[in-house]
Amino acid sequence: MSTVSVVEPDALLDGLNNAQRLAVTSTTSPLCILAGAGSGKTRVLTRRIAYRAATGDLDPRHVLALTFTRKAAGELTARLRSLGLREQVAAGTFHSIAYAQLRTRWAERSITPPQLMTRKAGFVIGLLTGAEKSTPGIDFVSEIEWAKARMVEPEDYPEAAKTAGRKPPISYEATAAIYARYEDQRRQKRLIDFDDMLRVCHRDLLSDDGFAASQRWRFAHLFVDEFQDVNPLQHALLEAWRGDRPDLCIVGDPNQAIYSWNGADPELLHTFPERFPDGETIRLLDNYRSSPQILAAANALLVGGRGVDHDGTQSATRPDGAIPSIRELPDERAEAAAIARAARDHHGPGARWSNQAVLVRTNAQLPILEEAMKSAGIPFRVRGATPLLDQPEIKVALSELRRTIRPFTDAIHDLALSVDIEDESESDRAAERRANLDALVQMARDYIAIETPPTANGFFLWLTATTRADQPDPNGDAIELLTFHAAKGLEWPIVHLAGLEQGYVPIGHAKTPGAWAEERRLFYVAATRAERELLCTWAKSRTFGERSVPRERSEFLDTYATACEALEAGIDPIAVGNGTTAPHLAPTSGTRSSKPKAKGSKSSGGRKRPGSYPDSLEATDHALFDALRAWRSERAKSADVPAFVVCNDHTLAEIARQKPQTPVELLRVYGMGEIKVSKFGGELLTIISGTLGS
């Protein structure tokens, strides 16, 4: 076998810990590397390719490294080059590789390539009849994409969608009929959509032996990063590429599975040992990205959540840093301005803006941050997201605004009212569309405030200038603004998390336990992007449509804030999250005895002054809340632990509000795990019945 590397194999093991070395040098295949965020999974994946090339165990020209975004694929290629691989290793997304292979096959067999469908929503709209037309095409597109990712045919859609708890815009059967029509028409017109690239490549590999043999020869060694987000269609394709050869290495983290809503199946990672009994699973337990404080708070978030499985707690290796801060701001504008100020404060002499990123849950939250950065004169870049102006609903709204002969302010008022109507049963995509339109309405208000008379054309010009025109050049130094999803796999020294409110984190349409757990993992992904500092903010009110809506702090921040408070007190935050009081500090041996240094920005997360009551509490519940607090003080004193270790204020307030009568009802209160109920349940129920009876 020809090797092209001149790098000494041993040099490729430098800067790796024992478990990482084992993962790089293991001769077992298939190999699964399972580890938390920042543990070096991507580093190990690239080192393993380079190491095996250096030892002559593989020819890098026959390696296929798969990831989920083009950016990540570019990153892999760059890292491999820096490791001395002069030959080009193929690194790409499932789609890019499948499409390239199909194009080769079509060319070799003189098959006229089908056309790529570029406007899916428009295509679907053309298929709708009667009452279906009142539903936007994009809502059906989400369902069709989900079904294709799960390899669900139209006739099987109703049952599969019901089982998965999908909420199609119309009945399951009617949605299936539209899906069937979509497939028929698409075939008749010889069109393929994005997902068909994978499906057709998979089908051709199974039916065309020559094609399969040539592709399997070309890519003899398969590597997959972020495996927890593989969907069944991608997995089937991976298996078709692999054939009966064992050379596969996958890396993943079940706690970072954030694409189940879109058809990904984290079970594929969980079931790896059963599917490959001869394979090996290696775990990495040290974290190299985040400070002990950030890591401890993020780990507590996972462990504190009920129903989230966590495979061993990571240890931090980085030096101490600031305890994550949580700031409450009066509204979204104040929040955006505060983030811009904080970004400037953290921009020391000689530092790069690109050391910092602001992460948000939805695309619609980005424009206000862009405006704030611009006013503060901070160069910014928006990454990964489809720009707001390119969203289909925004294009439609803008073209309607330009066509209407009514005064611009009236048209915006009506648009705001239509955005205001929230449908409890709306789909994910419908909610996203509403949020995007709402962002447009808020920007229209800004424009109306500065222009007399405001016009649709004037707004359009202002929008284009405001949202994109003065972004710095794509490679210049800039702070990055992006969504939690787009931040997957990336890292920055300083990370700002904005809009940590109920409705965003977790997102309002996460109504099932599964969707809710995915939101919690998504917050974990976002929090673990930070290396040195993590600054969390939320706004007490936000303008939606015509209304200013009061907002509540994200419930996920409860366990998180408790963890931060525990860190300040030098207690293991994981133990607090579990309702136990193990006395050691989790992060590293280096920090066990030393109290972490808070750099001025202390967590204020949810702590109430004595005598004050949480806003959520009615005056009639104050007596019970006081009684619960008195009980907690006693309990804490007798156990010699800080009060919040027994129960935090938020949980006590919830108990006072809900007044549970039985242990089961008590268990339903957020923050009450089984351990707490078995330990304190009897006492709490007695206090509740005593106060209610008096």
Choose between 72 and 233: whose C-beta lies nearer to Mg ion: 72
Restricting to residues 263-292, which ones interact with ligand ATP according to CB under 6 A?
288-289
Residue 670, by phi and psi: left (phi above 0), alpha (psi -120 to 50) or beta?
Answer: beta
| 17 is an interface residue for ligand ATP by CB under 6 A | yes
What DSSP line would sit under 473-536, residue for residue? PTTS--EEEEETGGGTT--EEEEEE---BTBBTTBTT--SHHHHHHHHHHHHHHHTTEEEEEEE
Neighbours of 384 (CB within 10 A): 17
| Interaction between residue 629 and ligand ATP (CB under 6 A) | no
Residue among 287 and 537 whose Cβ is closer to Mg ion: 287
Closest chain position to ligand ATP (CB): 40
Say how many residues touch ligand ATP, by CB under 6 A: 18
Q: Which is nearer to ligand ATP, 492 or 556 (CB)?
A: 492
The minimum distance between CB 257 and Mg ion, in angstroms, equals 14
| Closer residue to ligand ATP, CB minimum distance, 41 or 166 | 41
Helix, strand, coil percentages for the chain (3-state, nearest 5): 55, 10, 35
Choose the binding region for ligand ATP from 37-45, 110-118, 450-458, 669-677 (rule: CB under 6 A): 37-45
Tell the smallest beta-carbon distance from residue 485 to Mg ion (Å): 15
Residue 49: which of Mg ion, ligand ATP, none does it interact with, CB under 5 to 8 A by kind?
none
Between 39 and 362, name the residue whose CB sits nearer to Mg ion: 39
Q: Which stretch binds ligand ATP (CB under 6 A): 14-22, 134-142, 175-183, 559-567?
A: 14-22
Sign of CA dihedral 32, 36, 42, 44: negative
- Residue 488 CB, shortest distance to Mg ion, in Å, is 8
Mask for 83-122, x = binds Mg ion (CB under 5 A):
----------------------------------------
DSSP of 281-325: EEEE-EE-SS-HHHHHHHHHHHHHSTT----S--EE-SPP-PPPE
Q: How many CB atoms lie within 10 A of CB 540?
A: 17
Report in angstroms how near the CB of residue 16 gets to ligand ATP at its nearest. 5
Q: Give least dist CB 270 to ligand ATP, A.
A: 17
Q: Of 89, 88, 87, 83, whose CA–CA distance to 8 is shortest?
A: 83
Closest separation in Å from C-beta 40 to ligand ATP: 3
CA atoms within 13 A of residue 1's CA, in its CB half-sphere: 14
To the nearest whole angstrom, how small is the minimum distance from the Cβ of residue 588 to Mg ion?
Answer: 21
* For ligand ATP, the closer CB: 355 or 543: 355
> How far, in Å, CA of 36 to CA of 137, rounded?
38
Nearer to Mg ion, 282 or 369 (CB): 282
> Least distance (Å) from ligand ATP to the CB of residue 39?
4
**In sequence order, which residues have a C-beta less than 8 Å from that of residue 240 and are 6 or more positions away?**
201, 202, 205, 206, 212
Computed from CA positions of residues 642, 647, 651, 657, in that sequence, does the dihedral angle turn out positive or negative? negative
Q: What, of Mg ion, ligand ATP, none, does residue 346 touch, CB below 5 to 8 Å by kind?
A: none
**What is the Cα–Cα distance from 140 to 178, expressed in whole angstroms?**
8
Residue 288 binds: one of ligand ATP, Mg ion, none (C-beta under 5 to 8 A by kind): ligand ATP
User: Considering only CA atoms, which of 201, 286, 376 is closest in space to residue 15?
Assistant: 286
Whose Cβ is closer to ligand ATP: residue 9's or residue 642's?
9
Going by C-alpha positions, the residue among 283, 211, 212 that lies closest to residue 245 is 212
Amino acid, res. 320 = D
Q: Is 40 in the site for ligand ATP (CB under 6 A)?
A: yes
Q: Are 76 and 91 in contact (CB under 8 A)?
A: yes
Residues with Cβ within 8 Å of 207's Cβ and at least 6 positions away in sequence, in order, are none
The only residue of 5, 12, 16, 429 in contact with ligand ATP, by rule CB under 6 A: 16
Under the binding rule (CB under 6 A), the answer on residue 74 touching ligand ATP is no
Q: How far is the CB of 224 from Mg ion (least distance, A)?
A: 12
Query: Judged by CB under 6 A, does residue 355 bind ligand ATP?
Result: no
CB closer to ligand ATP, 13 vs 170: 13
- Judged by CB under 5 A, the number of residues near Mg ion is 3
Q: Name which of residues 42 to 81 contact Mg ion (CB under 5 A).
A: 42
The yes or no reply on residue 485 touching ligand ATP (CB under 6 A) is: no
Minimum CB distance to Mg ion, residue 275 (Å): 22
Nearer to ligand ATP, 34 or 372 (CB): 34
Burial tier of 673 (Cβ tally within 10 Å: 0-12, 13-18, 19+): middle
**Closer residue to ligand ATP (CB): 120 or 318:** 318
Among 43, 242, 434, 521, binds ligand ATP (CB under 6 A): 43
Please state, in angstroms and as integers, the Cα–Cα distance from residue 428 to each residue in 166, 171, 262, 509, following that order: 10, 16, 10, 6
Q: Which residues of 449-484 are buried (b: 16+ CB within 10 A; e: fewer)?
A: eeeeebebeebbebbeebbeeebeeeeeebbbbbbb
650 residue type, one letter = H
Residue 256, both tokens = 């970072």
* Binding partner at 509 among Mg ion, ligand ATP, none, C-beta below 5 to 8 Å by kind: none
Among residues 12, 19, 20, 300, the one that binds ligand ATP under rule CB under 6 A:
20
Using CA atoms, how far apart are residues 657 and 660, in angstroms rounded to an integer? Answer: 9
Tell me the CA distances in angstroms from 432 to 128, 394, 459, 563, one per residue in order: 22, 11, 22, 31
41 or 650, CB closer to Mg ion? 41
Q: Which is nearer to ligand ATP, 43 or 105 (CB)?
A: 43
- Considering the complex, state which of residue 85 and residue 598 has its C-beta at the smaller distance from ligand ATP: 85
Helix (H, G, I), strand (E, B), or coil: what is residue 455?
A: coil
Site string for Mg ion, 466-495 (x = CB under 5 A): -----------------------x------
Least distance to ligand ATP, CB of residue 531, Å: 8
Q: Name the residue whose CB lies closest to Mg ion.
A: 42
Please give the Cα distance from 55 to 341 (Å, whole number): 51
For ligand ATP, the closer of residues 530 and 575 by Cβ is 530
What does the per-residue mask of binding to Mg ion show for 30-49, with x meaning CB under 5 A? Answer: -----------xx-------
- Between CA 425 and CA 652 the distance in angstroms is 31
Query: Torsion angle, CA of 317/252/489/427, rounded to 10 degrees?
Result: -130
The piece of 32-40, 376-384, 596-604, 647-655 that touches ligand ATP (CB under 6 A) is: 32-40
Q: What is the DSSP pairing of strand 530-544 with strand 547-550?
A: antiparallel
Chosen from ligand ATP, Mg ion, none, partner binding at 242 (C-beta under 5 to 8 Å by type): none
Shortest reach from residue 50's CB to Mg ion, in Å? 16
567 φ, ψ (degrees, to nearest 5)? -60, -40
Distance CA 608, CA 553 (A): 14
Binding site for ligand ATP (CB under 6 A): 15-17, 20, 35, 37-43, 253, 256, 288-289, 489, 491
Which residues sit at the interface with Mg ion, rule CB under 5 A? 41-42, 489
